[in-house]
Amino acid sequence: MRFLLSSAVVGLLAVSTGALTTSSRAAAPAAGYEEVKDWPKLSSGVQLGEVAGVDVDAQGHVFVFHRPGRGFEPSATEVLEDPAVLEIDAETGKLIASWGAKTFLVPHGITVDDQNNIWLTDVGLQQVLKYSHDGRRLMTLGQPRVGGWDATHFNQPTDIAIRKDGSFYVSDGYVNSRVALFDRNGVFLREWGKKGSGDAQFSNPHGLAFAPNGDVLVADRENSRIQVFDRQGAFKRQWLGARDTGRVFAVAVDAGGALYVGVRRADYDPPTNGVLKLDRDWKTVASIGFGAAGDPVFNAVHDIAVGRDGSIYVAETRTKRVVKLRPR
């Protein structure tokens, strides 16, 4: 259990509105989370690859999008032989179902919508894909293995966020530097963003979530920050992580409006990998990992999700695992 932020994390928080920036160097209280050991409990025939994405469905089942037998290879041309989507029981850690064999190239983002549909991005296929809960494809956006920047192409898209009305946002991505908005039928509506470090500019928009008021939260990875936009893409403010602390890979929001930030500066560097929990006022209330004694050790944080019971799920790529953190 931790009582103080590590020296690498102290002073991480800075909230900016226009030219006005305020920061807080107050230490966070104890993390209040413990790692659930030996979770998940997959059968001997299932081997996790790099875990790129994780989310939780309406039943509390954990969905994992991983790369069996492959690293981050956007130029890959051969589909993955094994199922890339795993449905796992949150309590027991046992595999419920798997699908997506011989389908994907480089799995990346996964989001479960309010209808329990599964949305995926594949940076090798250059596509955004919608599936039913049991793995039937319902929608495909983007041309397979053709990158571009327009209404019908992506260039290594990273994540998806879906509203209750079915409209959705795509962060796009490793090559492009934009967020694109589509209606429920996949018709392109608008976009915003370009390469850079200013307001409404991105350097790898890597993760998406919605604030309680409906604002769009974008994990602007290489700029080490979260940018906040209204529903139409107008910039409102930002949360800025210290550049010497870690890049912001992922953002998630729980039912109470708390924010969870996945931070990673370098691979296999525990002091700069971890999860921060912020309250509705964006004050840091928990810090998990970051090399602190007694905390879980993280090496390659890539995505995070939060269950209804408050459990946090952390996807790691290089270490090929998904970690469950349970409130104490």
Residue 17 has pLDDT above 70, yes or no: no
What's the pLDDT band for 18 if we cut at 50, 70, 90?
very low
Q: What is the pLDDT of residue 231?
A: 98
Q: Which amino acid is at 111?
A: T
**3-state class (DSSP) for residue 142:** coil
Distance CA(106)–CA(175), nearest Å, equals 15
Q: What is the pLDDT of residue 31?
A: 53
Smallest CA-to-CA distance from 93 within 133, 127, 48, 139 is with 48
* Residues 129-152 pLDDT 10s: 999 999 999 999 999 999 999 999
Q: What is the pLDDT of residue 44?
A: 85
Residue 299 has pLDDT above 80, yes or no: yes
> Two tokens at 277?
């929990």
Q: What is the pLDDT of residue 19?
A: 32
* 258 to 71, 209, 277, 303: CA distances (angstroms): 32, 12, 7, 16
What's the pLDDT band for 3 if we cut at 50, 70, 90?
very low
Q: Which helix (H) or strand (E) holds 144?
A: none
Q: What is the pLDDT of residue 167?
A: 99
Q: What is the mean pLDDT of the chain?
A: 91
Rounded to two decimals, the pTM is 0.92
Cβ pair 283, 303 in contact under 8 A: no
256 burial level (CB within 10 Å; 0-12, 13-18, 19+): exposed
Q: How many domains does the chain have?
A: 1
Residue 241 has pLDDT above 50, yes or no: yes
Smallest CA-to-CA distance from 157 within 126, 132, 129 is with 126
For residue 173, say if its preceding peptide bond is cis, omega within 30 degrees of 0: yes
Q: What is the pLDDT of residue 232?
A: 98
Q: What is the pLDDT of residue 240?
A: 87
The verdict on residue 108 lying in a domain is yes
Q: What is the pLDDT of residue 294?
A: 87
Return the CATH number at 21: 2.120.10.30
Q: What is the pLDDT of residue 6?
A: 34
Q: What is the pLDDT of residue 13?
A: 41
Residue 28 has pLDDT above 60, yes or no: no
* 294 to 199, 268, 303: CA distances (angstroms): 38, 18, 22
The verdict on residue 5 lying in a domain is no
Distance CA(123)–CA(104), nearest Å, equals 9
The verdict on residue 162 lying in a domain is yes
Q: What is the pLDDT of residue 319?
A: 96
Q: What is the pLDDT of residue 180?
A: 99
Residue 239 has pLDDT above 80, yes or no: yes
The verdict on residue 158 lying in a domain is yes
The verdict on residue 6 lying in a domain is no
* 280 to 56, 205, 219, 253, 256: CA distances (angstroms): 21, 22, 17, 10, 8
Q: What range does the domain containing 130 cover? A: 14-327
Q: In percent, how much of the chain has pLDDT > 70?
A: 89
Q: What is the pLDDT of residue 225?
A: 95
Q: What is the pLDDT of residue 26?
A: 38
Cβ pair 299, 284 in contact under 8 A: no
* Residues 52-103 pLDDT 10s: 999 999 999 999 999 999 999 999 999 999 999 999 999 999 999 999 999 9
Distance CA(144)–CA(159), nearest Å, equals 17
The verdict on residue 7 lying in a domain is no
Residue 188 has pLDDT above 70, yes or no: yes
Distance CA(249)–CA(203), nearest Å, equals 11
Q: Is 292 or 104 the better-scoring residue by pLDDT?
A: 104
The verdict on residue 105 lying in a domain is yes
Q: What is the pLDDT of residue 8?
A: 35
Characterize the bridge pairing of strands 284-289 and 301-306.
unpaired
The three state secondary structure string of 251-307 is: EEECCCCCEEEEEECCCCCHHHEEEEEECCCCCEEEEEECCCCCCCCCCCEEEEEEC
Distance CA(303)–CA(277), nearest Å, equals 14
Residue 204 has pLDDT above 90, yes or no: yes
What's the pLDDT band for 25 if we cut at 50, 70, 90?
very low
Which neighbouring-strand residues pair with 105? none
Residue 326 has pLDDT above 70, yes or no: yes
Q: Which helix (H) or strand (E) holds 20?
A: strand 20-23
Distance CA(266)–CA(198), nearest Å, equals 23
The verdict on residue 3 lying in a domain is no
